C-alpha cells in the first residue's frame, strides 16, 4: 500500500489491535463511520482487521478530499485512498461519500454505527459538529474515537476544545475518556 503520511501508523497501528479489533470483531457484523480518511490508512486497517471478519460488515467513509487552506494535494490523496482500498480486496464493503461531514452526516439515521472514528475537520467548530453528530449516530454500545487529542500538534487544542464543547452540548459533563495512542476513546453507553 502507498501511504505518504505516517500519522495513523505512528499513532495507532500498535495499540488498535489491543483495543479496537477485540471490541468490534466479536460484535460482527459491524458498521463503522470514518470522518476524514485522507489516504485510507485507518480505512485499510479497519477493512483488514475488522470489516473483513464478517461478510456483512461495512464502513462508510466521509471526506471531501478538497483543499481546506492546507498545502496537501488532496486529489493525489484521494487517488491513493482508492488504490489502497482496492488493494485490500474489500473495496465493495466501503461506501465512500466525497463530501464534508456537515453535508453528509445530518441525513444519516440515529444509532446506526458500532464505531465512529473522527479525524476530519480539525477546527474547534468542525470537531464540535463532528462530535455532536457522532454521539447521535453511534449505537448505544458504540465506540467513539477522536484522533489528534493526546499529542502535541498544531490542531490539538482546537480538536480538544471542539470535542469538549460537542460532548457538553449533548449533556455530557464528566466523561470517561481513554487515551489510546494519540486518540481519545469513549463508549457511547456512558453518555446520557
Give per-residue pLDDT as tens, 143-155: 888 876 665 566 6
**Residue at grid coordinates 457484523:** 29
Pairing of strands 178-180, 183-187: antiparallel
Domains of the chain with bracketed CATH: 7-65+72-190 (3.40.50.150)
Q: d(Cα 176, Cα 129) in Å, to the nearest integer?
A: 20
- pTM given for the model: 0.89
Mean pLDDT for 68-79 is 82
Are the C-beta atoms of residues 124 and 158 closer than 8 Å to each other?
A: yes
Starting from the edge strand earliest in sequence, which strands make up the sheet with 138-146, in order? 94-97, 58-62, 31-35, 113-118, 138-146, 183-187, 178-180
163 vs 35: CA distance, rounded Å: 14
Contacts for 180 with CB less than 8 Å, ≥ 6 apart = 12, 15, 16, 19, 20, 145
What's the DSSP call for residue 4? S
For 112-146, the pLDDT digits (tens) are 999 999 888 878 888 889 989 998 999 988 888 88
Sign of the dihedral defined by the CA atoms of residues 93, 95, 98, 103, in that order: negative
**Predicted pLDDT of residue 63:** 95
Amino acid at each position: 500500500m502507498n501511504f505518504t503520511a505516517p500519522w495513523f501508523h505512528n499513532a495507532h497501528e500498535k495499540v488498535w489491535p489491543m483495543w479496537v479489533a477485540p471490541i468490534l470483531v466479536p460484535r460482527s457484523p459491524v458498521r463503522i463511520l470514518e470522518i476524514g480518511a485522507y489516504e485510507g490508512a485507518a480505512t485499510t486497517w479497519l477493512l483488514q482487521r475488522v470489516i473483513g471478519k464478517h461478510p456483512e460488515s461495512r464502513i462508510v467513509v466521509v471526506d471531501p478530499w478538497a483543499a481546506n487552506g492546507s498545502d496537501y494535494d488532496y486529489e493525489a490523496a484521494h487517488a491513493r485512498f482508492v488504490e489502497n482500498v482496492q488493494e485490500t480486496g474489500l473495496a465493495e464493503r466501503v461506501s465512500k461519500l466525497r463530501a464534508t461531514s456537515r453535508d453528509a452526516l445530518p441525513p444519516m439515521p440515529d444509532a446506526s454505527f458500532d464505531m465512529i472514528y473522527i479525524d476530519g475537520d480539525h477546527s474547534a467548530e468542525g470537531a464540535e459538529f463532528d462530535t455532536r453528530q457522532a454521539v447521535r449516530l453511534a449505537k448505544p454500545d458504540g465506540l467513539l474515537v477522536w484522533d489528534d487529542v493526546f499529542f502535541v500538534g498544531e490542531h490539538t487544542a482546537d480538536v480538544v476544545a471542539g470535542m469538549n464543547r460537542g460532548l457538553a452540548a449533548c449533556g455530557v459533563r464528566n466523561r470517561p475518556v481513554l487515551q489510546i495512542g494519540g486518540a481519545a476513546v469513549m463508549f457511547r453507553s456512558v453518555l446520557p
